[in-house]
A and B are shown apart, each in its own frame.
Chain A
């Protein structure tokens, strides 16, 4: 999909009817539109957004939103005169197999005093060309909804901001400290609306079935249990909200502590610098120890859960072992001779010991043949003896392993946990000592930073403990629900007509759970793909000396960028590197969304200084390869040296020029 023409009439600074023509060469190249500040770059994005969705881009203030009609044209018009505002976008106007579209939105205005007032609601018209080059036009009031559908099939409204965006606002929008917008962007491109609405629909249907289930109960105890279950479920929801809020507070406190550490690192007091770095290292070590502690705890639990069944069944295992040994001793088990060998002996009529095996030869040969034929009959059990031999070893090993795991290894692991606890306590004591010493430093600003840091750390501890307690409380309530549900199942089994409703309700519970897991899987998959594509693009674009080895978007939707020494760098990178990372992220979002629409970036290299810009320019031609990219650049951004560096990717250059109250787009001269 590529844009071949944009026509704008009387939209904001664009006076009269103006056309921006993109030639075929721009399909996978950069088109540069250079302009001075406040000439109308953002208005061009707004015009496209308005044409597609009747929506303005960005957060223009009310006053400016009201002045959507071009001021120069307004001043020319007589009182009561009528004129229209129109934006038209032509897509795929070439001889390729792509379907051609023209999307046109128009609104008629009338001059009333100093204002232009819309006299009709804006209408959209979509012209579509099929393979045989026949066109269909949808332009009646009845086809407005259909037009919206066509537009949304070209580029859905809720993801258009990843194709039409302002470089200046990237950093503000996708803050590394706040993962909400990152989560929302990944949710949007995942297109999981249908899964979400199916989930919602099923939940409503389940409520209905459950209310039937409640009505048909007729048993006071069951009724009481159901209301207790409901009450406990809402208690869990409340606790989960508290946990979420506490985690947000923890996130905020951790970010602030990181910021304070960076500030303290810049301070020119050597002793404090040393202390601050030691304290940060001790805290880092404690974090790692805490993780090790949690993982070890999980390992101990896993090991216990896996061993307990075997320990409980020890009698059965021992009895089995005894049976195998007794059978072996008594020769109850058939020999492990394969049928094929016995048949071979009988065919050859000679045993390996030399005995004649012709049954008619003599009495003894006859007997020997009979024994072999009998063995052949039993031989389907030879597999049994082989299996039992295998089992014997497994059971002996298992019986040896169970007490070792349950007693010795468990004791050793629990003692490891204690050691970790001791190290964490020692580290905490050392941190407290540093904090005490730092209190005496009276340098301006440092004292307050240190105090704030200590407060935040203390708060963090309290919050983390609170989260632990709340999680414990959830598990306790879950256990209560489990008991109540079980009691109800027992009551329900004795009631008429309840069984079928219960089956339906349970089916719906299963379906909801399944949908929830699909929802989670899709999001995880998209998150991983975006993560991978962002890092690929970032590695192609960034220039600084650091060897970044890991970029990740965690399950909490927080971005992390690590160097080869595993140091977290995301809050430490320069504004230029940050801009490049976010440009990579947005490129990944647009690619993973699966929609191939041209990408318009207003001031792509905002927030960067001249040196950073030059460095970015070296690799910028690799950005969003195979896409039509329209870069709306400021004149001071598009310097001759920058231009020279990205020229290999540029197809067309244009310039936006402001003349009075109107803006014109002219080819570059």
Chain B
């Protein structure tokens, strides 16, 4: 039987959601014109009446602002390191967890390592600022082991800030990211392992010839989808961990936009940076979806 009735109720159901999207998502897109204007905060509604200045704001911020180049470099270094780390660590963890044969222990480990993902960066940032502080456990431990005589100011050190940011991000997410791989490993046909056992394969051979090839599609999928994050270095994290001393290595596009726009109130310059980031990110996400579809047969809908 073919179901067919009027689409009116369907439109009605779509209405509230669509309305919110139009107001809170579409109007800000229109508001991106600020990027091409000399912004005038007193002009009505988005300053549509403001003077049009073409690409001047982009030039001011990208060619003349002393920090913009460093910010882009920081963003790329932090984001790409996070992407690589967040692909490798969860895969290794899932593979090792698979070798743990005690069910109860396995569940306990999973319960603990998933938890950090659900904590906010405010909390995680506070914890790690303490751990890496002059009197935190890292410094105390190293001093009691006589590795250090003077405490290292990790959070105020441009040499340490990026490694710490990358480490804490992996710390927070590796357990949760491992879930997909654990699920993929669970789905592997046990007969393959039994056949390998009969052939006399060892642990690493089974891992190399059965487990890893079986989860390869999932690894490829996660890699391609991660591509969309090349410009997302994680502002929630940075805002909770940085301070002016480490702007040089820790300031990223999103925090830069936040400070120029909402702290220094240079709306037009911040919007120019934001628009550039949005456009590049969109292209990256589209490319990643295309690649994911091509190599892993993944479609979001």
Partners in one complex: no
